[in-house]
């Protein structure tokens, strides 16, 4: 059966988008379409050019007999800026205000398109690093962790506040909450994380950094190490325990009395931004 | 700036995959590429044909001035069968066995590619129904709910065991666990679900159906109704409270003494399977 070029590139585009960070051999595509590898190479060159131009991602070519291509999700600066600005406006909506100055965020965390964009932005920032797993704390970090995982093609590991019978033997640590200074527990199933893993820590919200620090203590119990720290929202905090992280937005101020929430861009663009695709045109 | 056909169809493929169940006007694409609508229509015909042939999904054309196309994720029977058979084999691995006959499942629930496939299969089954939201119970149902939501483009609503300050006012109900017969509580943030919503209920595991029944009681408090019930694993159970559901796999038997787990295909294919794409060739 013969395939036209247009048909091949549609199927290859879908395949690559579904298999990020994974080496795909030219042979796989050549056999899939009964085409010569030279035709597949030409197709891939067109896909790579379009992905980069349209802010979709990039293809890395790995030469040699065991070679192939790897797709990495990337964003361009313009669309990332636009997305973050829109997120700030949404979080500033005074309807989010709850008693005690808390903000209702479940609508954003439950929105599949927003989560996919959050995942793509944060995954882009860690695309060049060796990451074996993404760790988060139940419950609100889970959609963000999975959204990043889908773009980096790594497993998600979920830390809980207490142990469950369905998780088998667990390792537990105590940590001090950064903002309330209370002692809390964190539990991780022993079999969920391999010894020596390099782990990206993810959370929805960071204030004092206590939860992130708790996860770091837990990593030590698995001889695992921190590959990065990514949060959706950071809040102003005088003496944070954590310095090296990436945030998409920053909560500057919540004024309950006047029902005013002030949100600005996080440190996403102030870090090394080599990971962004150049804006086209 | 002019775009070649190959470039257009790569970008359109990506755009449609990222915007399932959403009407995309031909004008959007025509302006994006500076092309005539007739060229865009031709491109879409090629994409539709390839999507259906390759088991990716389908495009529905909505005619008229306010028309456009909608992409629906679909799977073909062959690839769905293959995926479910592989899932059965993975769940039958005796290493999963925990004391009390429980099975460790966090590796599957944390695996982004597996979750994406699970989401695609379950979303395919409900693609033609009006669904306003997907509801699940924290924690293990969350990745499945989000995986389905990504393909159906609807929000995820998370029910908890207790209320949290970050969720605002909540509605709480009590329900009887199907297997342990204990009374348990379920809590949902009032603002997380609109009155009158049609809701797809999702869970990782169903035995007696108590958790699903709890969610149904909760829906009543929001004047909301059940649009469907989807679970990853169902277990054998004599008198289940729930009949109309879709499961991907069925746990037949767990023999702790002999460390043997028996898993078969769920009822996915015994239900109405009009939703599947026909196998090509």
Q: What is the pLDDT of residue A67?
A: 84
d(CA B150, CA B172): 28
Match 């040699």 to its residue by tokens: A64
DSSP state of A73: E
Q: Do A9 and B10 touch (CB under 8 A)?
A: yes
Which residues of B are less than 8 Å from A1 in CB distance?
Answer: 281
Note whether B112 and A154 are within 8 A (CB): yes
Residues of chain B with CATH 1.10.10.10: 5-73
Predicted pLDDT at A281: 45
Helix axes of A142-152 and B142-152: crossing angle, nearest 10 degrees: 60
pLDDT (tens digit per residue) in B34-52: 999 999 999 999 999 999 9
CB contact under 8 A, A138 and B143: no
Q: Do A10 and B5 touch (CB under 8 A)?
A: no
Nearby residues of B12 by Cβ (< 8 Å), 6 or more positions away: B29, B40, B43, B44, B47
CA distance B39 to chain A (A): 14
Query: What residues of chain A score a pLDDT lower than 70?
Result: 1-2, 272-273, 279-281
Q: What is the pLDDT of residue A279?
A: 65
Each residue's pLDDT tens digit, B115-141: 999 999 999 999 999 999 999 999 999
Find chain A residues with C-beta within 8 A of B18's C-beta. 113, 116
Q: What is the pLDDT of residue B1?
A: 57
What element of type H or E holds A218? helix A210-221
Residue of B nearest to A47 (CA): B10
Nearest to B203 by CA among B165, B229, B174: B229
Shortest Cα distance, chain B CAs vs residue A31, angstroms:
14
3-state secondary structure of B156: strand
Residue B264's pLDDT band (cuts 50, 70, 90): very high
- The pLDDT confidence band at residue B271, using thresholds 50, 70 and 90, is confident
Contacts of A103 in chain B (CB under 8 A): 166
Joined together, the tokens standing for residue B6 give 């190959």
In chain A, residues with a C-beta closer than 8 Å to the C-beta of B115 are 146, 150
In total, the C-beta contacts within 8 angstroms joining chain A to chain B are 167
In angstroms, the CA B63 to CA A248 distance is: 40
CA-based nearest residue in chain A for residue B133: A110
Q: Among A56, A167, A168, whose Cβ lies nearest the Cβ of B14?
A: A56
Which of B112, B117, B118, B277 is the mutation pick for testing A, counting most A CBs within 10 A?
A: B112
Question: How many Å lie between the alpha carbon of A30 and the closest alpha carbon of chain B?
Answer: 15
The yes/no answer on whether domain A5-73 falls in CATH 3.40.50.300 is no
Q: What is the pLDDT of residues B50-73, one digit of tens each?
A: 999 999 999 999 988 788 999 999
What is chain B's length?
281
Residue B266 is classified by DSSP as -
A146: which chain B residues are within 8 Å (Cβ-Cβ)?
Answer: 112, 115, 142-143, 146-147
Average pLDDT over chain A reads 94
Q: Which residues on A lie below 8 Å from B160 (Cβ)?
A: 139
Q: What is the predicted pLDDT for the residue at A273?
A: 67
Q: For residue B217, is pLDDT > 80?
A: yes
In chain B, which residues have their Cβ closer than 8 Å to the Cβ of A51? 10, 14
Contact B139, A160 (CB under 8 A): yes
Range list of H helices, B105-199: 106-109, 112-125, 142-152
Q: What pLDDT, on a 0 to 100 scale, did the predictor assign at position A272?
A: 64
What is the predicted pLDDT for the residue at B45?
A: 96
Q: Which of B21, B155, B170 to mutate to test the interface with A (most CBs of A within 10 A)?
A: B155
Give the SS3 label for residue A275. coil
Q: Provide the terminal-to-terminal Cα distance of chain A, rounded to the nearest Å.
A: 39
pLDDT at B269 over 90: yes
Q: Do B46 and A154 touch (CB under 8 A)?
A: no
Chain B: closest CA distance from residue A270 (Å):
28
Whole-angstrom Cα distance, residue A199 to residue A226?
A: 5
Q: What ipTM goes with this model? A: 0.96
* A160/chain B closest Cα distance in angstroms: 9
Write out the residue limits of the CATH 3.40.50.2020 domain(s) in chain A. 78-270
Cα–Cα dist A173/A161, whole Å: 10
Confidence (pLDDT) at B66: 81
Do B110 and A156 lie within an 8 Å CB cutoff? yes
Which 3 state secondary structure label does DSSP give B24? Answer: strand
With CB atoms and an 8 Å threshold, state whether B139 touches A158.
yes
B279 has pLDDT over 70: no
Q: Which pLDDT band, with edges at 50, 70 and 90, does B243 fall under?
A: confident
- Contact indicator for B264, B250 with CB cutoff of 8 Å: yes
SS3 for A92? coil
Q: Cβ B165–A98 below 8 Å, yes or no? A: yes
Give the position of tokens 């060739």.
B281
B141-187 per-position pLDDT tens digit = 999 999 999 999 999 999 999 888 899 999 999 998 877 788 999 99
Which pLDDT belongs to residue B262? Answer: 98
φ/ψ (deg, to 5) at B190: -60, -40
Residue B275 is predicted with a pLDDT of 72
How far is the C-alpha of A190 from the C-alpha of A207, rounded, in Å?
28
> What's the predicted TM-score (pTM) here?
0.96
pLDDT of residue B281: 45
Distance CA(B29)–CA(A35), nearest Å, equals: 30
Contacts A50 to B, Cβ<8 Å:
6-7, 10-11
| B47 → chain A, closest CA residue | A10
Cα distance from A156 to chain B (closest Cα, Å)?
5
Give the C-alpha separation, B42 to A147, whole Å: 33
Alpha-carbon distance of B280 to B47, in angstroms, equals 15
Which pLDDT value is given to residue A243?
Answer: 84
Q: Among the residues of A54-111, which ranges form H helices?
A: 77-91, 106-109
CATH topology assigned to domain B78-270: Rossmann fold (3.40.50)
CA distance B175 to B183: 6
- Which residues in chain B have their CB less than 8 angstroms from residue A17's CB? 14, 17
Q: Residue A124 is encoded by which pair of tokens?
A: 């882009």
Q: What is the DSSP letter of B190?
A: G
Residue owning tokens 């919200």: A205
């Amino acid at each position: 059966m013969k395939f036209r070029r247009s048909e091949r590139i549609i199927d290859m585009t879908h395949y690559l988008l579904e298999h990020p960070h994974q080496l795909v051999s030219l042979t796989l595509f050549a056999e899939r379409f009964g085409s010569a590898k030279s035709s597949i190479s030409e197709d891939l060159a067109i896909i790579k050019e379009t992905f980069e131009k349209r802010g979709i991602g990039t293809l890395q070519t790995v030469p040699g007999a065991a070679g192939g291509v790897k797709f990495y999700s990337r964003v361009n600066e313009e669309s990332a800026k636009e997305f973050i600005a829109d997120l700030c406006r949404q979080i500033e909506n005074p309807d989010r205000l709850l008693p005690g100055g808390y903000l209702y965020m479940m609508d954003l965390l439950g929105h599949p398109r927003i989560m996919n964009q959050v995942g793509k932005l944060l995954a882009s920032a860690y695309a060049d690093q060796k990451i074996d797993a993404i760790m988060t704390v139940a419950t609100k970090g889970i959609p963000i962790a999975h959204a990043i995982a889908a773009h980096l093609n790594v497993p998600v590991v979920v830390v809980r506040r207490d142990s469950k019978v369905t998780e088998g033997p667990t390792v537990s640590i105590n940590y001090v909450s950064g903002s309330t200074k209370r002692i809390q527990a964190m539990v991780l199933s022993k079999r969920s994380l391999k010894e020596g893993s390099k782990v990206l820590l993810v959370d929805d919200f960071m204030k004092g950094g206590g939860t992130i620090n708790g996860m770091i203590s837990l990593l030590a119990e698995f001889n695992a190490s921190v590959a990065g720290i990514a949060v959706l929202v950071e809040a102003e905090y005088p003496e944070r325990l954590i310095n090296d992280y990436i945030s998409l937005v920053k909560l500057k101020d919540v004024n309950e009395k006047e029902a005013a929430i002030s949100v600005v861009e996080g440190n996403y663009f102030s870090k090394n931004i080599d990971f962004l695709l150049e804006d086209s045109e």
